[in-house]
Structure formats: C-alpha cells, structure tokens
C-alpha cells in the first residue's frame, strides 16, 4: 500500500523553540526534501502579510522533481464570507500555490472557548473554506485540529466536522493529535472508526510528541487505514515536537513494507536529515534510531566480536539501507578484536595480527587516557591520530612553541575582546601570529589558522562548527578537569577531536590542534577512513 509522506518541517517544525528559517534556509530544505522523495512539502503558514506571501511565492517557484509544495491556512473567520477574509481571498488569487492544507476545529471545547462561535457556524466555516478554495482551482487537504480530543468528548460532532470538509471537496482528511497526549491504541481504534464512517475519504495522521508516542501513534493510524503521514525531520516542532520522519520512514518502508520512499531515497535519509538539521542550526541527536551516529555503534567487546562474525546478532537491520554506517567506538570496554577490526577496515595496517604487541600498547594507552577523562567515543579524529602515532610513529605537521591569551577591556559600547598569540614550528621554520576573537577559544582558533596557512594554505578551509565543554568532577569545583570536544568541517567532511585538562584553554588547544592535524593528514586516505567512517563521523 502507498503511504504519502507529508513534511511540515518548514511550518510546524519552525514553531519549535530556537528554530527560525530564512528564505534561503527554506529553499535548501525544500531541495533536500525533494531529493529525499517526500510527496508533499509544507512551505509555511499563509497570512495576508505581503512579506509572508512574497516569501512563500519565492519558495513555491522552486522547480521540484517529485514533491508538491503546499501552504497552510486556517478556515474563514466566524460570521464573515470567505471572499472577505484577507488571507483566504489573497490565497485564492495566488497562482503559484496549487495545494492548500487548511485547519479547522473538531473539538467543541475549542469551538466554544477559542473560536467563541456556535457548533453550526464552525461546520459552515469548514465547508465554506474548502469549497471556496476548490472553486479557485486549489487542491485542498483538511487538518482536523484536536480531532482525537474532540472525538473523545463528542464523537458525533467530531465526525460531522470531517464530513463537512470531505463533502465540500477536501482530498485528504488528516486526523490530528494536536496536544500529543493520545496513546497509540486509542489512535488506532479511532482511526479505524473514522475509516468506517467515511469509507471514501483518504485519511492522514498528524501527531505531536508530548508523551513520546508520536511515531508509534502514527504507525498505529497507518495500520488502521491512514494513507498519509505528516511529520518533521528530526521531530522538530512546538513543545516536545512532531512525529519524527527520520524514524517513521524506515519503520514504514523497512519494517512494514509500505510504499513510501524509493530505495535510493531511503539511502539518502541519514545524509538529508543531517543537512536539514544543520540548516536549522540545531545539534544532531546521535542517539536517534536509524540515522544517528550511535544507532549502529557497538562498544562492548563481546558485542563487537559477535557483529564481526554475524551483523544480525546485534543489528536489527543493515545500516546502509538508510545511508548510515556501522561504528565501533573504542574505549576501556573494547578488546583487541574491536581495535584490530578498526585498523584493518581502515587500511591503516592491513597486515597487523592479533598478537602484535602494538595492539596491547594501543589498548593500554586508550584505557589510561580514558581513566584521566579522555573519551574517544565522540572524537574519532583524535583517536585516528593516536593509532597512527602508535603504529607508524609520530609525524605531526606542526609543533606548538607557545601561545598566550589576553583579554582586553572594551570602552563604551565595545565589548571585551580576546587576543591570542600563537607561535608554531614547521620543520626549521617558525611562525608567530596574533588574532582577535569573540572569546579566547575563537581567538586561539583564528591565530592558529593564520599561522598554519603560511605553510598549509588548505588549513584556511577548516572551520569550527561545534564546541562542547564538560566538567569531569564537579566536586573539585575550580580544580576540576574539563573535557572539550570540537567538531570541525571543511565543507565536505565532519570530524571531532578531544582535549582534557584542568585548564579549559589547554584542553581547547589540544582539541584544536588535533582538528587541524587531522585535516592536514587527510592526504593519507586510511587516516580519513578511520577518523570519519569506522568511528562513525559521517560525511556531511
């Protein structure tokens, strides 16, 4: 059975706290979703505002290979005609916006308290709006807001709202768990009842995640007869978010066999999810099912040994189906099998054997560093450098001579600024540079990059994309060790490095210097492989 994927990242997802899309951001997201294979992409909420309509008009002009662009709009206001409603009259005249999803009230409580109108007028508002937009040549979908709450309180009236939309010409009737508080079994039962009462309607499901059940409830609705699933990439959305399409798509396609995405589109899922998350300027959740960097990560030695013998022993599916990779983060729990597998797979030393003393040396070093608070689980690039140095000897591209940080006080409206001075040695030559930054780490990064580009111009392509600090023992207060993890990119690949020290600047320097050393070592293909692929640092 075909199940349509309706993405509302740019509308419902944008209602999530901390998320704001510019027009250029929206264009990037639309192209990514179209490449992925979404059936419908909701571009935003249509209002009578000239600025809003201009932005939506620009997004609607994007040539798409597969997806249809939709816009979101409410029903007419109470006691006025559709032609006199500013948003509806303007939308009816928009030639580029062919598909509209309108929302209306299904819960008598909302009709009374929010709309402050009569049940009969609410039904008229729904049917009038659908007919008006259909007469203007639009395809119309209907989102039944708070449907499950309304059905719980008054099933007969909730069903009347659906019939009003369906009889007026709505092509999709979408049942919404707007408060996100219904259990999957309730969603399944009610969806099945609606299917009986509206046998000719194509049903959709739209769930919020306020009790953590949005994906499960959406699946329950599909199994009860819904043919369209609405959700957002990464589950972005208001409050606790919406149903997460990163999870729903593989569940529908891989686990249940529904026709919702091509094999090629499914393999793009991990990459496109990361792309859209970056556009939204949100950190990617590596623990996400299917697409997370840890979704197929095996850390325990016994688990790794079993997976190397037979992947299904500890993997529920092939990660490549969704464009993900298996990873084996090395830690104190790892054994020689895990280390040997990583080294061989990376091609760092394909002839090394299990009894090689360098393996024991590497594991002992990793365990001693982990005891000090160094964790390589989320810093594959730093680990790659450690293994390279043990197996082939140290061959760093640059050496620190000294650095100095100075914080200067601003005057008037000027803020305090940090100035970093860095001196490095490359071979027999030294470079001394200084840079002003927004804080000491930014200044240190800029000064180091400036020094390196004198010897390695490609170092200028790197940029820091994430910086995280964790206090390892808060009981020691200001004497605590801190762990700094830095994420870097050159526009094509992403890698992470780590530093640990009682001095946050020193820990930052360790992670920064590893980040640039790793990039400069990328001419060694095996090092790139172990730093990014085997240890789960996915390319962007």
4-279: in CATH 3.40.50.300:
no
d(CA 498, CA 506): 11
Q: Where are the domains of the chain?
A: 4-279, 301-373, 399-534
The full DSSP string for 391-424 is: HH----S-EEEEEEEEEE---TTPPPEEEEEEEE
CB 11 within 8 A of CB 44: yes
Spatial CA neighbour of 234 closest among 33, 453, 494, 473:
33
CB 489 within 8 A of CB 540: yes
CB 180 within 8 A of CB 211: yes
Distance of CA 260 to the CA centre of its chain: 20
399-534: in CATH 3.30.160.270:
yes
Digitized pLDDT (tens) for each residue of the chain, 540 residues in all = 899 999 999 999 999 999 999 999 999 999 999 999 999 999 999 987 777 778 888 888 888 999 999 999 999 999 999 999 999 999 999 988 999 999 999 999 999 999 999 999 999 999 999 999 999 999 999 999 999 999 999 999 999 999 999 999 999 999 999 999 999 999 999 999 999 999 999 999 999 999 999 999 999 999 999 999 999 999 999 999 999 999 999 999 999 999 999 999 999 999 999 999 989 988 889 899 999 988 988 877 677 778 878 888 999 999 999 999 887 766 655 666 667 766 665 556 556 666 777 777 877 877 788 777 887 777 778 888 887 777 777 678 999 999 999 987 665 555 678 899 999 999 999 999 999 998 899 999 999 999 999 999 988 888 888 888 888 765 544 456 899 999 888 877 788 899 999 899 999 999 999 999 988 887 545 454 444 443 433 332
DSSP type of residue 75: P
User: What pLDDT was estimated at residue 348?
Assistant: 61
SS3 percent helix, strand, coil of the chain, rounded to 5, is: 45, 20, 35
Structure tokens at 250: 């593989």
DSSP type of residue 232: B
Give the helix/strand (H/E) hosting 216: helix 214-223
Q: Which residue has the tokens 């007469």?
A: 135
User: What pLDDT was estimated at residue 118?
Assistant: 97
User: What pLDDT was estimated at residue 466?
Assistant: 86
d(CA 521, CA 38): 39
d(CA 348, CA 524): 9
d(CA 63, CA 61): 6
d(CA 171, CA 248): 23
CB 381 within 8 A of CB 518: yes
- pTM confidence score: 0.77
User: What pLDDT was estimated at residue 378?
Assistant: 72
d(CA 237, CA 19): 9
d(CA 328, CA 308): 10
Strand partners, 103: 74, 143
Q: Residue 113: which region, alpha, beta or left (left: phi > 0; alpha: psi -120 to 50)?
A: alpha
DSSP type of residue 76: P
Q: Label residue 240 exposed, middle or buried (CB < 10 Å: 0-12, 13-18, 19+).
A: middle
Structure tokens at 236: 């972005």
Q: What angle do CA 213, 217, 223 make, to 5 degrees?
A: 155
User: What pLDDT was estimated at residue 58?
Assistant: 87
Strand partners, 422: 403, 433
Q: Residue 422: which region, alpha, beta or left (left: phi > 0; alpha: psi -120 to 50)?
A: beta
d(CA 462, CA 488): 7
Please state the φ and ψ torsions of residue 414, each to the nearest 5 degrees.
-75, 135
d(CA 152, CA 140): 26
d(CA 398, CA 164): 72
User: What pLDDT was estimated at residue 411?
Assistant: 55
Burial 454-487 (b: 16+ CB within 10 A, else e): eebeebeebebeebeeeeeeeeeeeeebbbbbbb
DSSP type of residue 302: H
CB 259 within 8 A of CB 291: no
Residue count of the chain: 540
User: What pLDDT was estimated at residue 168?
Assistant: 98
d(CA 365, CA 343): 16
């Amino acid at each position: 059975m075909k199940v349509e994927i309706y993405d509302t990242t740019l509308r419902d997802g944008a209602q999530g706290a901390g998320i704001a899309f510019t027009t250029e951001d929206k264009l990037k997201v639309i192209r990514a979703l179209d490449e992925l294979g979404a059936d419908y992409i909701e571009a935003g909420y249509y209002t009578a505002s000239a600025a809003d309509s201009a932005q939506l008009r620009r997004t609607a002009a994007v040539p798409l290979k597969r997806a249809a662009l939709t816009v979101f709009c409410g029903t007419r206001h109470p006691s006025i005609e559709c032609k006199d409603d500013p948003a509806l009259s303007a939308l009816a005249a928009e030639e580029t916006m062919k598909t509209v999803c309108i929302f209306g009230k299904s819960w008598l409580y909302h009709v009374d308290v929010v709309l402050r109108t009569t049940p009969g007028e609410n039904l008229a508002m729904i049917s009038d709006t659908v007919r008006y937009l259909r007469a203007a040549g639009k395809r119309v979908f209907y989102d039944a807001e708070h449907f499950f709450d309304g059905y719980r309180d008054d099933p007969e009236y909730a069903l009347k709202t659906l019939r009003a939309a369906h009889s007026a010409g709505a092509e999709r009737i979408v049942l919404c768990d707007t408060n996100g508080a219904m259990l999957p079994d309730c969603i399944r039962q009610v969806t099945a009842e609606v299917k009986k009462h509206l046998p000719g309607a194509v049903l959709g499901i739209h769930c919020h995640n306020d009790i953590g059940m949005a994906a499960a409830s959406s699946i329950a609705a599909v199994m009860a007869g819904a043919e369209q699933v609405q959700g957002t990439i990464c589950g972005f959305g208001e409050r606790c978010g919406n149903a997460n399409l990163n999870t729903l798509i593989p569940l529908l396609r891989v686990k249940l066999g529904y026709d919702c995405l091509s094999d090629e589109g499914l393999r793009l899922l991990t990459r496109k999810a990361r792309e859209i998350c970056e556009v939204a300027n949100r950190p990617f959740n590596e623990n996400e099912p299917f697409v997370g960097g840890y979704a197929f990560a095996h850390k325990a030695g016994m688990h790794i040994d079993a997976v190397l013998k037979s992947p299904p022993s500890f993997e529920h599916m092939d990660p490549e189906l969704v464009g993900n990779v298996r990873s084996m983060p090395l830690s104190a729990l790892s054994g020689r099998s895990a280390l040997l597998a990583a080294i061989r797979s990376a091609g760092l030393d394909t002839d090394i054997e299990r009894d090689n003393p360098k393996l024991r040396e590497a594991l002992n070093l990793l365990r001693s560093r982990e005891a000090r608070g160094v964790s390589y689980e989320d810093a594959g690039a730093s680990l790659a450098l450690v293994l390279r140095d043990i197996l082939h000897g140290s061959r760093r591209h640059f050496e620190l001579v000294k650095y100095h940080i100075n914080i200067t006080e601003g005057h008037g409206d000027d803020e305090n600024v940090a100035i970093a001075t860095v001196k490095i040695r490359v071979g027999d030559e030294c470079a001394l540079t200084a840079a002003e930054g927004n804080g000491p780490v930014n200044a240190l990064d800029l000064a180091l990059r400036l020094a390196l580009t004198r010897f390695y111009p490609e170092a200028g392509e790197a940029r820091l994309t994430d910086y995280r600090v964790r206090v390892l023992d808060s009981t020691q207060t200001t004497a605590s060790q801190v762990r700094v993890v830095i994420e870097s990119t050159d526009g094509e690949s992403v890698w992470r490095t780590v530093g640990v020290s009682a001095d946050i600047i020193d820990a930052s320097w360790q992670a920064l210097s590893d980040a640039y050393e790793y990039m400069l070592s990328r001419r060694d293909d095996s090092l790139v492989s172990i730093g990014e692929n085997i240890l789960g640092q996915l390319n962007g």
